[in-house]
Structure 1
Amino acid sequence: MASLNVYSALVVLFLTCGAALATKENDQIIIETNCETKMGLPCVLEAFTRIFETGSISNKCCGEHVGLGKIFHSALVKRTLENPLFKDLSPATIIAKSIQTWNNCLALIDSLSPSA
């Protein structure tokens, strides 16, 4: 049941791209990134599960995630950690998983890019 609440919160965060409790800086980055049209909901859920729970992220979703940029990635993680629904999560653990997820996706995308 808690997992359903987490996913519901995630969907609301991504579909509205704004939350009253988030800092203006993080909100502005997410709004400017136009996240609701650049990353599909299945990939949003994969990235979220990989960072905030236990899961994996597909090559396709890594591509979408990296395509939004590191600034978006960081803003999303910070904004989610500011949300009271996630107050029980360890920020240090989440940040470590966030960095690992970003680096793994970036390496994957780089390895799939045609070499010059």
Structure 2
Amino acid sequence: MASLHVYSVLVILFLTCGAVMATKENDQIIRENNCETKMGLPYVVEASTSIFVTGSISNKCCGKLVLGKVCHSALVNRTLENPLFKDISAATIIAKSIQTWNNCLALIDSPSLSA
């Protein structure tokens, strides 16, 4: 019985440490790639609002968003780790994140914008 208790504590400790490490990893990726600086805070907010709330994003923000998939993924993952978003399905958010990314890529690659 005691070994079950010790095992449970170790599992909880492992999961907690993993979550803390994931947060540090995303923060480090964001910092090392200057993600918030490259995109600009207003565009980070707009992209997040698009993914988490409205589903729409401006052409100008799309141009900033597609500067880097690494930044996009790290910002979404960091937001998912925020307790404020604990009630939102991670799978839904990831799907919306991919949809926003793909929509922006299509918009940026559109011949009408290139002309």
Partner Cα separation in structure 2 for residue 41 and residue 27 of structure 1:
15
Question: Which consecutive residues of structure 1, in runs of 5 or more, have no partner in the other structure?
Answer: 1-19
Partner Cα separation in structure 2 for residue 44 and residue 103 of structure 1:
17
1:80 aligned partner: 79
- Paired residues, what number? 94
2:51 aligned partner: 51
1:104 aligned partner: 103
**TM-score of the superposition, structure 2-length normalised?**
0.72
1:8 aligned partner: none
Structure 2 letter corresponding to 1:87:
K
| Aligned structure 1 segments of 4 or more residues deviating by more than 4 angstroms | none
**TM-score of the superposition, structure 1-length normalised?**
0.72
SS in 2 for 1:89: coil
Q: RMSD in angstroms over aligned alpha carbons?
A: 1.8
**More helix per residue: 1 or 2?**
2
Larger radius of gyration: 2
* Mapping for residues 1-40 of structure 1, pairs under 5 Å: 23-40=23-40
